[in-house]
Structure 1
Amino acid sequence: MTDCDFLVVGHGIAGATLAYVLRQRGHQVLVYDPGQANSASNVAAGLMNPVAGKRFALTWRGAELLPFAAEFYRELEQRFGQEFFVETPIFKLFSSVEEQNAVLARSADNPWEHFVAGFETADPALPGVHGPFGGAWLQHGGHVAVRELLAALAGEGTRDGWLRAETFDWSRLSTDADGATYAGQVRARHVVCCEGAAAVRNPYFSWLPLTPNQGEVLDVECAGLSTAQVLNRGAYVVPVGAARFRVGATYRWPPFADGVTAVGREELAARLSVITDLPFAVVGQRAGVRPAVRDRRPLLGPHPTVPSLSFCGGYGSKGVMLAPRLAVLLADWLEGRAEIWPDTSLQRYNALQPISVS
């Protein structure tokens, strides 16, 4: 029998950050993950955007989450001797004079704190960028090499034996007042589900209001396009080196196709064509499924009736920004040192839970 303090199911950005925090605190952690190359975390461009959306609003808890995430990823860079986080300006192109006027009118109240560095009211003349209406310069954001980060952590887990490249079978889990036993082989004080969108099939958590949302991204080559910033207008354009960019992302609600689609490719190519007049070549395309929540807030905390079981996820498209701080929050709660934030707690949806767990 293998004994551990915490059994974490899933090693996407949510599970990987939680497992790392718990291990750093001296806990014995065992992680199960099937190692899917097309998981949402592996497909993501890893953008951390402080001001986003059609309303041009400050990201939820952005003033706390962004600097915390940046420090967290820099710690991992020191650990592995690799660059994972690139802090870079983000230029949000205005799509019309009306949008420009609306944003500038709001700027007097400074609703974005220190994350907006300034505005352009005319074309900023960035190389290869079509921006006739100007835009807003955002600062203290950037992007994370999520695939490389997860690979580094997984490599460590395989070497040290805390990561098992297996699909977790929830039907083989039994729980009691003191913890949980899996497949008659593993005993844990607590089990945390970090399965992402796959949690919709979890017998313990399928009642949660998770809606899988598919996103596709393109890798393109575009010689001459400015690489000094991330571009954003209907799509993000993230420089990844050697005149290559990651362009995304689409949003598809069920039912959606399994894998990449021609429709997704055409949609993203059309969005990129609005940002630049330069010719570009699509050199790659990927699709992943995000775990979206109806109120666009993450889901964190204990199962309502099974005390040895918790959930961590529902991060949607903001996983790289949310994961570090929420991993620490959940770890603090597991250690009895903090309460789960009410706006992230599973308790807000307790009424949806069935009477019994099958």
Structure 2
Amino acid sequence: MTDCDFLLVGHGIAGATLADVLRARGHRVLVYDPGQANSASNVAAGLMNPVAGKRFALSWRAEELLPAAAAYYRALEQRYSQSFFTETPIFKIFGSPEEQNAVLARSADRPWGDFVASLTTTDPNLPGVHAPFGGAWLQHGGHVAVRELLAALAAEGHRAGWLRRESFDWTQVQFDSEGATYAGQVRSRHVICCEGAAAVRNPYFGWLPLTPNQGEVLDVECADLSPAQVLNRGAYVVPVGGGRFRVGATYRWPPFAPGITAVGREELAARLTVITDLPFAVVGQRAGVRPAVRDRRPLIGPHPTVPNLSFCGGYGSKGVMLAPRLATLLADWLVGEAEIWPEASVQRYNALQPAGVG
């Protein structure tokens, strides 16, 4: 019988960061993950953007989440002697005089002003960038090499034996007041579901308002496009080195076709032509399914009726920014040292649980 303190199901960005935080605190952790190359975390460009959307909306809790994420990823870089996090300016391109005026009206207010380094109402003449109405230079953001980061953590898990590349069978779990037993082989004090979009089929958490949302990204070569910043106008354009950029992302609600699509490729290519008139070549395309939540807030915390069972996920397209801080929050809660933020708690949806489920 294998004994552990916490059994986690899923090793995407949510599960990986939580497992890492728990292990760093001395807890015995066991993780099950089948290792899907097209998981949402492996496909993501890893953008950390403090301000997004046409309404110039400040990302939820950005002033707390961004510094925590940056510190965590830099610590991992030191640990593995690899580069994962690139802090870089984000240039949000204005698409019209009306958008220009709307952003100017909001940008001086706090906390927006903390993330706006400068504004320009004229073309900044960035190589290859079409920005006749100027744009906003955002600071304290950047991008994370999520695939490489998860691979480094997984390699450590394989070596140490705490990561098992296996599918998890929820029908083989038996819960009791002291913890849970899995398949008669593993005993754990607590089980945590970190399955991402797959949680919509989970027998204990399928009632949560998770909606799978498919996103596609392109990898393109565009040798003369400015690589000094992330570009954002209807799509993000993230420099990945060597004249290559990652362009994303589409949003497809069910029903959607599995895998990459010609429609997704055409949509993203069209968005890129709004940003640049330079020639580019598509050299790769990937698709993943995000775990989106109705109110665009994450879901962490305990199951309402099953003891020693919790959930961690629903991060949508903000996973790299949310995961480190929420991992420490949930780790603190698991040992009675913190309260889950109400706006992120599973408990806000407890009324949705059908009678007799879980």
TM bucket normalised to smaller: over 0.9
Gaps of 5+ in 2: none
Matched, 1:284 2:284: yes
Alignment correspondent of 1:178: 178
**Quick one: percent identity of the two aligned structures?**
83
Q: Equivalents in 2 of 1:210, 1:123: separation in Å?
A: 41
Alignment correspondent of 2:300: 300
User: 1:100-249 to 2 correspondence within 5 Å?
Assistant: 100-249=100-249
Q: Equivalents in 1 of 2:16, 2:188: separation in Å?
A: 18
Give the aligned residue type for 1:262: A
Tell me, what secondary structure is at the counterpart of 2:219?
Answer: strand
Q: Equivalents in 1 of 2:122, 2:85: separation in Å?
A: 31
Tell me, what secondary structure is at the counterpart of 1:41?
Answer: helix
Matched, 1:38 2:60: no
Kept after mapping to 1: 8 A contact 2:216/2:260: yes
Q: Equivalents in 2 of 1:191, 1:110: separation in Å?
A: 40
Q: Equivalents in 2 of 1:180, 1:115: separation in Å?
A: 45
Distance 1:210 1:128, change over 3 A: same
CA positional deviation for 1:353: 0.4
Q: Equivalents in 1 of 2:298, 2:106: separation in Å?
A: 28
Tell me, what secondary structure is at the counterpart of 1:104?
Answer: helix
CA positional deviation for 1:354: 1.3
Give the aligned residue type for 1:56: F
Q: Equivalents in 2 of 1:226, 1:258: separation in Å?
A: 33
Give the aligned residue type for 1:174: Q
CA positional deviation for 1:32: 0.2
Q: Equivalents in 2 of 1:195, 1:133: separation in Å?
A: 42
Q: Equivalents in 2 of 1:276, 1:302: separation in Å?
A: 47
Tell me, what secondary structure is at the counterpart of 1:151?
Answer: helix
CA positional deviation for 1:111: 4.3
Q: Equivalents in 2 of 1:354, 1:43: separation in Å?
A: 33
Alignment correspondent of 1:311: 311
CA positional deviation for 1:304: 0.2
User: 1:88-107 to 2 correspondence within 5 Å?
Assistant: 88-107=88-107
Alignment correspondent of 2:70: 70
CA positional deviation for 1:148: 0.1
Matched, 1:262 2:262: yes
Give the aligned residue type for 2:342: P
Q: Equivalents in 2 of 1:303, 1:110: separation in Å?
A: 37
Count of aligned residue pairs for this structure pair? 358
Q: Equivalents in 2 of 1:247, 1:301: separation in Å?
A: 33
CA positional deviation for 1:58: 1.2
Matched, 1:322 2:305: no
Matched, 1:17 2:35: no
Q: Equivalents in 1 of 2:129, 2:110: separation in Å?
A: 27
Q: Equivalents in 2 of 1:216, 1:202: separation in Å?
A: 25
Query: What CA deviation, in whole Å up to 9, does each residue of 1:188-215 have, x standing for no partner?
Result: 0000000000000000000000000000
Tell me, what secondary structure is at the counterpart of 1:324?
Answer: helix
Give the aligned residue type for 2:206: S
Name the TM-score, length of structure 2 as normaliser.
0.99
Gaps of 5+ in 1: none
Q: Equivalents in 1 of 2:231, 2:161: separation in Å?
A: 41
CA positional deviation for 1:155: 0.3
Give the aligned residue type for 1:288: G
Kept after mapping to 1: 8 A contact 2:118/2:137: yes
Name the TM-score, length of structure 1 as normaliser.
0.99
Tell me, what secondary structure is at the counterpart of 2:319?
Answer: helix
Tell me, what secondary structure is at the counterpart of 1:348?
Answer: helix
Give the aligned residue type for 1:137: W
CA positional deviation for 1:247: 0.2
Q: Equivalents in 2 of 1:28, 1:126: separation in Å?
A: 50
